[in-house]
């Protein structure tokens, strides 16, 4: 890209210096030069001097050498001190940006659906968004607790051990690979996505029954939980019959 830019700048310089109908005017020359150096984002690699009847340019070798030293290197910078966030933790935090992106996607579309907002009063719109954030917080904690029966990788310790370096590509744990292959977790129950598991749990009902001719006498009946439902409530540490 540097060579291509230099070639085009040389052509502009020739237009400025030719005898017949030369390119004149600092503004016109500047527009021509700007179109060339911005085409490949090469402005930082050249120093350009423009007058009404001349243009001169040269490579910024110091800038070019500095960037060449980082070719193939992805640099992460942080304002935090190493005692707070060392190199490995910085890379890990950057890789966890995917979780933030998934959270926004969940809020906007598939799960929470924060939009459309049908409120008009100024105090109700922030309240609506706040409740959606609370809902996502509940979802996040549920996902963490339910990982053993979801497709998520629940064996984090072994997954991290299998990683040779923080910058290396993450690998799924043996348990997660086995779960994905067999479609069953270690306890033999069917493995679920979070949404399909919610659909299964949604069939659990709380039935208030009344005795004929005794309307003031009521009692509650719950359905018999399936093994998957019972396991989910166990992982959530929830007594569904309270």
- Whether the bond between 155 and the residue before it is cis, its omega within 30 degrees of 0, is no
- 116 with 140, same domain? yes
Rounded CA separation 53/13 (Å)? 10
Q: What is the pLDDT of residue 159?
A: 65
Q: What is the pLDDT of residue 158?
A: 65
- 213 with 230, same domain? yes
Report yes or no on 125 lying in a domain. Answer: yes
Q: What is the pLDDT of residue 212?
A: 79
Report yes or no on 170 lying in a domain. Answer: yes
Per-residue pLDDT of the chain (242 residues; tens, 9 = 90+): 889 999 999 999 999 999 899 999 999 999 999 999 988 888 889 999 999 999 999 999 998 888 888 888 878 888 989 889 888 888 888 877 777 887 877 777 767 777 777 878 888 888 888 888 888 888 889 989 998 888 887 777 666 666 666 666 767 777 777 777 888 877 788 888 888 998 999 888 888 888 877 778 888 888 888 999 999 999 999 886 65
Which pairs count as long-range contacts for 4-7, CB under 8 Å and 24+ apart, including other chains? 4/40, 5/36, 5/37, 5/39, 5/40, 5/42, 5/45, 5/46, 6/46, 6/57, 6/59
Using an 8 Å Cβ cutoff, are 181 and 137 in contact? no
Using an 8 Å Cβ cutoff, are 215 and 224 in contact? no
- 107 with 168, same domain? yes
Strand partners, 218: 210
Report yes or no on 81 lying in a domain. Answer: no
Q: What is the pLDDT of residue 16?
A: 92
Q: What is the DSSP string of the chain?
A: -HHHHHHHHHHHHHHHH-SSS----HHHHHHHHHHHHHHTT-GGGEEEEE-SS-EEEEE-HHHHHHHHTTTT------SS-TTTS-HHHHHHHHHTHHHHHHHHHIIIIISS---S----STTHHHHHHHHHHHHHHHHHHHHHHHGGGBSS---HHHHHHT-SSTTSPP---HHHHHHHHHS--TTSSPPB-HHHHHHHHTT---EEEEETTEEEEEEEE-PPPPHHHHHHHHHHT--TT-
Report yes or no on 215 lying in a domain. Answer: yes
Q: What is the pLDDT of residue 119?
A: 77
Report the number of distinct structural domains present in the chain: 3
- 239 with 189, same domain? no
Residue 45 is part of which domain span? 2-68
- 199 with 212, same domain? yes
Q: What is the pLDDT of residue 145?
A: 92
Q: What is the DSSP string of 201-237?
A: HTT---EEEEETTEEEEEEEE-PPPPHHHHHHHHHHT
Rounded CA separation 166/152 (Å)? 20
């Amino acid at each position: 890209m540097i060579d291509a830019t230099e070639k085009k700048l040389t052509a502009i310089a020739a237009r400025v210096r030719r005898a017949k109908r030369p390119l004149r005017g600092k503004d016109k020359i500047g527009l021509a030069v700007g179109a060339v150096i911005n085409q490949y984002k090469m402005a930082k690699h050249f120093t350009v001097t423009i007058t009404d009847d001349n243009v001169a340019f040269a490579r910024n070798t110091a800038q070019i050498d500095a960037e060449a030293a980082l070719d193939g290197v992805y640099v992460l910078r942080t304002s935090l001190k190493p005692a707070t966030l060392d190199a490995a933790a910085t890379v890990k935090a950057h890789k966890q940006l995917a979780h933030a992106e998934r959270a926004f996607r969940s809020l906007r579309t598939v799960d929470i659906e924060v939009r459309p907002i049908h409120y008009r009063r100024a105090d109700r719109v922030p309240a609506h968004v706040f409740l959606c954030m609370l809902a996502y917080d509940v979802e996040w904690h549920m996902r963490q607790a339910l990982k053993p029966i979801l497709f998520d990788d629940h064996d984090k310790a072994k997954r991290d051990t299998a990683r040779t370096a923080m910058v290396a590509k993450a690998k799924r744990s043996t348990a997660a690979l086995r779960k994905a292959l067999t479609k069953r977790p270690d306890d033999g129950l069917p493995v679920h996505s979070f949404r399909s598991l919610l659909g299964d749990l949604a069939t659990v009902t709380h039935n208030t029954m009344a005795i004929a001719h005794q309307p003031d006498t009521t009692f509650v009946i719950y359905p018999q939980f399936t093994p998957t439902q019972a396991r989910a409530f166990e992982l959530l540490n929830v007594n569904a019959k309270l």
